[in-house]
Amino acid sequence: MNADPTPAATPAAPGGVLTTGGVLTDTHCPYCALQCGMSLRPAQGAPGGLDVVERTAFPVNRGALCGKGRTAPEVLAHGVRLTTPLVRDPGPGGERGELRPASWEEALDRVAGGLARARGAYGPDAVGVFGGGGLTNEKAYALGKFTRLVLGSSQIDYNGRFCMSSAAAAGTKAFGVDRGLPFPLADIPRTGCVILVGSNLAETMPPALRYFTELKENGGTLIVVDPRRTRTAEQADLHLAPRPGTDLALALGLLHLVVAEGRVDEAFIAERTSGWAEARAAAMAHWPELVERVTGVPVPQLRQAVRMFCEPEAAMVLTARGPEQQSKGTDTVGAWINLCLATGRAGRPLSGYGCLTGQGNGQGGREHGQKADQLPGYRMLADAAAREHVARVWGVEPGVLPGPGRSAYELLDALGRDTPDGVRALLLLASNPVVSAPRAAHVEERMRALDFLAVCDVVLSESARLADVVLPVTQWAEETGTLTNLEGRVLLRRKAVEPPAGCRSDLEVLNLLAARLGWEKGFPTDPEEVFEELRRASAGGKADYSGITYRRIVEEDGVFWPCPETRAPAPEELNDDPSNDHAPAPHPGTPRLFLDRFATPDGRARFAPVSHRPSAEEPDEEYPLLLTTGRVLAQYQSGAQTRRVARLNEAAPGPFVQLHPRLAERLGAAEGDRLAVTSRRGRAVAPARITRDIRPDTVFMPFHWPGEGRANSLTNPALDPTSRMPEFKVCAVRVELAGD
């Protein structure tokens, strides 16, 4: 569908122009971190409905959209989404009753009362807050402020911890700052080689695949690392299929060959890095034949990969959830960064390491205070200067701010525990941990044990069904706010339609709850007003947004952070020279990081001296196979929204177990047979999907569904010691026929 070619010149709505089909509003898709540009206009013959229009001028996706983006307005429809608050009354015998409709006044009073009772009885840290990687920057900022000031609690984290926290930790260690991609996507087709580790872009971010197609058209090469031959791997010039959990050994083996074959960029290492001697020694302990035994990748393929990566003038490594969602994810990403640094493929044009952030605002969501240990601007809670700066913006003393809290899984594990440090009440926004968290049955049990649970969501998700109060909130096309995509490009997602009368924005909810809990001021409901405060709070931080305004975002198709506000000269600096009396040019933003120096104190990138170690759980006689999990094209994350869209359900109606024909033959399984997959944590049942596109020692399950096919009933919550990322991508299982 193409936009009307003759829009009127007069704006008819915020961000909109009048077309023959009605008001056309430029905005962004509500799903993944590409944040594809799209336009929306009223659907003819469907009051309140919206049609998606291609927005070809937006540089990230240039009009391309996947099926999820094209059907996104369907989740706005009445009958699909929540439109009235729900509360739960006790049953006649004191048991939990059913959810029933209620007024906003009653629902908000119940939420404020539930949070206050837990805080009063057990202390502020008995109240937890769990957010989502799809919340706008404004909401993430306000949520962190609400938790730390109004509730006085340290217990806040978000599901973005499950997304790219290992890459964030490794990037911060190596470069001094974490931004998903330190360069625009447009640089990818112009480099010489890309190693894509643990990403199935063809199904998770389809519009991004064009960059890799253009890379190959320009003479570049693509190497895909994945235990499955995915749709993305089919596009590769070389596919490496390591055993799940061995990406660290693979990266170290490639670096060993770089050294052995004399491909090290000694000048770059001497000029711009530190720690090479220790990293080199660790890599040399991973000789090719050992790496082949550990990973299953043949030595000739290892040598071919090194040659393809090192021969062009420029190259990149991009990681995603595959290597990151492991109990050694930070070290694994650090090893891939080492490969870039040793070959001079970092801090130079068209070269570098990047992480393909998954969730829509996974980047901005942690930059501005939704993460357990961080304050706005990517400041750290443990840093006294950071606390002082943010406290000054908030109008409080630094000592008021609590310290760092628990990470996401540790917070969920603490729910409902009758211990001095247990979390007794939870406020949950835009997340569905009953489906998305590791060891999900245990997490569901912990949520049921809470004294009080309040959920803000647009649909009645599996987690919301457990709540004492459910608040129906507005969603993407019904509100305005900023998000930060995987490139570090800050975007404005604009309101296109009025929400149902019974829905309120998350900012309104926080405002009304804060007032009930004694904070009449400090929580505005206008997103631009919140963003103006966020700008001040982020000023001087690693993620400095102070030079970004709504107007600039619209005019420039997004602004890359860091973008500090430029300072006008003080009167004494003008020296009475009229020629100096002018405003400074605004900071242009930073599309490309590290070209002059890295963001470490000495400007040098740091090698990580890492060695391979086994996964937290290895196969044994009882659980002889490996399970890995992931996404499919037509569904998104826990499926809370996409499972409500008929066209997406037709394309991907339910879970499955992907397995190799040799394994199927051993099990006596045929295509479509129900298979039971069992781990030390639980059991899941789904039909068999037999293919040669997976290793014989591995099975795969998508994680979008609840019920008996819930893949996260099986996954291991073993945590990375640095990032606190759970080990979603590898655990030991057994598989058997389940019967009818």
Average pLDDT, the chain: 93
549, part of any domain: no
3-state secondary structure of 253: helix
Predicted local confidence at residue 8, as pLDDT: 30
Q: Report the CATH number that the domain containing residue 636 is assigned in CATH.
A: 2.40.40.20
Return d(Cα 370, Cα 133) in angstroms, integer: 9
Predicted local confidence at residue 572, as pLDDT: 61
183, part of any domain: yes
Contacts 24+ apart (CB under 8 A), 208-217: 208/34, 208/61, 208/356, 209/235, 210/62, 210/64, 211/185, 211/186, 212/188, 214/188, 214/189, 215/188, 215/189, 215/191, 217/189
Predicted local confidence at residue 94, as pLDDT: 74
pLDDT per position as a tens digit, 506-524: 999 999 999 999 999 999 9
586, part of any domain: no
Whether the pLDDT of residue 671 is over 60: the answer is yes
Q: Token digits for 443?
A: 């997490």
Position 642 confidence tier, pLDDT thresholds 50, 70, 90: very high
Predicted local confidence at residue 579, as pLDDT: 55
499, part of any domain: no
Q: Return the higher-pLDDT residue of 17 and 667.
A: 667
Number of alpha carbons in the 13 Å side-chain half-sphere of residue 708: 8
Whether the pLDDT of residue 614 is over 80: the answer is yes
Q: Where are the alpha helices (DSSP H) in 668-731?
A: none
Predicted local confidence at residue 96, as pLDDT: 85
Q: Based on the fold, state whether residues 150 and 230 are members of the same structural domain.
A: no
pLDDT per position as a tens digit, 467-482: 999 999 999 999 999 9
Q: Based on the fold, state whether residues 233 and 379 are members of the same structural domain.
A: no
Q: Report the pLDDT averaged over residues 327-331.
A: 97
22-36, 240-254, 415-429: segment of lowest average pLDDT: 22-36
Predicted local confidence at residue 595, as pLDDT: 96
Q: Based on the fold, state whether residues 126 and 217 are members of the same structural domain.
A: no
Q: Based on the fold, state whether residues 350 and 475 are members of the same structural domain.
A: no
What's the domain count of the chain?
A: 3
Whether the pLDDT of residue 600 is over 70: the answer is yes
Predicted local confidence at residue 427, as pLDDT: 98
Q: Based on the fold, state whether residues 223 and 331 are members of the same structural domain.
A: yes
Predicted local confidence at residue 17, as pLDDT: 45
Cα-trace Rg, the chain: 25
Q: Are 32 and 469 in contact (CB under 8 A)?
A: no
Q: Based on the fold, state whether residues 248 and 148 are members of the same structural domain.
A: no
Whether the pLDDT of residue 605 is over 50: the answer is yes
713, part of any domain: yes
Position 4 confidence tier, pLDDT thresholds 50, 70, 90: very low
Whether the pLDDT of residue 343 is over 80: the answer is yes
Whether the pLDDT of residue 12 is over 60: the answer is no
Predicted local confidence at residue 92, as pLDDT: 80
Q: Token digits for 629?
A: 């999990």
Whether the pLDDT of residue 255 is over 50: the answer is yes
468, part of any domain: yes
Query: CA dihedral defined by 29, 34, 39, 42, rounded to 10 degrees?
Result: -10
Strands 605-606 and 683-690: unpaired
pLDDT > 90 in the chain, percent: 89
Predicted local confidence at residue 44, as pLDDT: 81
Return d(Cα 362, Cα 369) in angstroms, integer: 12
The letter for the amino acid at 161 is R
Q: Token digits for 259?
A: 């050294």
Q: Are 259 and 287 in contact (CB under 8 A)?
A: no
Helix, strand, coil percent values for the chain (each to nearest 5): 35, 20, 45
3-state secondary structure of 441: helix
3-state secondary structure of 170: helix
507, part of any domain: no
Q: Based on the fold, state whether residues 347 and 249 are members of the same structural domain.
A: yes
Predicted local confidence at residue 360, as pLDDT: 86
Q: Based on the fold, state whether residues 228 and 245 are members of the same structural domain.
A: yes
Predicted local confidence at residue 79, as pLDDT: 84
Closest CA to 557 of 641, 487, 651, 610: 487
Q: Report the pLDDT averaged over residues 724-729.
A: 97
32, part of any domain: no
Position 569 confidence tier, pLDDT thresholds 50, 70, 90: low
Predicted local confidence at residue 365, as pLDDT: 86
Predicted local confidence at residue 164, as pLDDT: 86
**Across the strands, what pairs with 490?**
484, 559
Q: Buried b / exposed e across 386-397, counting CB within 10 Å, b at 16+? A: bbebbbebbeee
Return d(Cα 413, Cα 422) in angstroms, integer: 9
Closest CA to 699 of 113, 319, 228, 148: 228
Q: Where are the alpha helices (DSSP H) in 242-328?
A: 247-260, 266-272, 276-284, 288-295, 299-310, 321-324
CA 480 to chain centre: 20
pTM for the full predicted model: 0.94
Q: Based on the fold, state whether residues 347 and 371 are members of the same structural domain.
A: no
Q: Based on the fold, state whether residues 199 and 336 are members of the same structural domain.
A: yes
Q: Report the CATH number that the domain containing residue 139 is assigned in CATH.
A: 3.40.50.740
Q: Token digits for 9?
A: 């010149």
Whether the pLDDT of residue 7 is over 90: the answer is no
Closest CA to 624 of 715, 737, 733: 733
Q: Token digits for 727?
A: 């080990």
Predicted local confidence at residue 366, as pLDDT: 84
What does the H/E/C string look like for 203-225? HHCHHHHHHHHHHHHCCCEEEEE
Q: Report the pLDDT averaged over residues 127-131.
A: 98
Q: Based on the fold, state whether residues 315 and 395 are members of the same structural domain.
A: no
Contacts 24+ apart (CB under 8 A), 15-24: 15/480, 15/492, 15/494, 15/495, 15/554, 16/494, 16/496, 21/51, 23/496, 24/53
Q: Token digits for 134?
A: 């799809």
Q: Report the pLDDT averaged over residues 345-364.
A: 93
Cβ of 376: how many Cβ atoms within 10 Å? 29
Predicted local confidence at residue 488, as pLDDT: 96
pLDDT per position as a tens digit, 187-209: 999 999 999 999 999 999 999 99
Q: Are 476 and 72 in contact (CB under 8 A)?
A: yes
Q: Based on the fold, state whether residues 148 and 104 are members of the same structural domain.
A: yes
Predicted local confidence at residue 90, as pLDDT: 85
Full residue range of the structural domain in which residue 149 is found: 100-162+361-485+512-538
Q: Token digits for 135?
A: 């919340």
**Based on the number of CB atoms within 10 Å of its own CB, is 419 exposed (0-12), middle (13-18) or buried (19 or more)?**
exposed
Q: Report the CATH number that the domain containing residue 305 is assigned in CATH.
A: 3.40.228.10
The letter for the amino acid at 192 is G
Position 498 confidence tier, pLDDT thresholds 50, 70, 90: very high
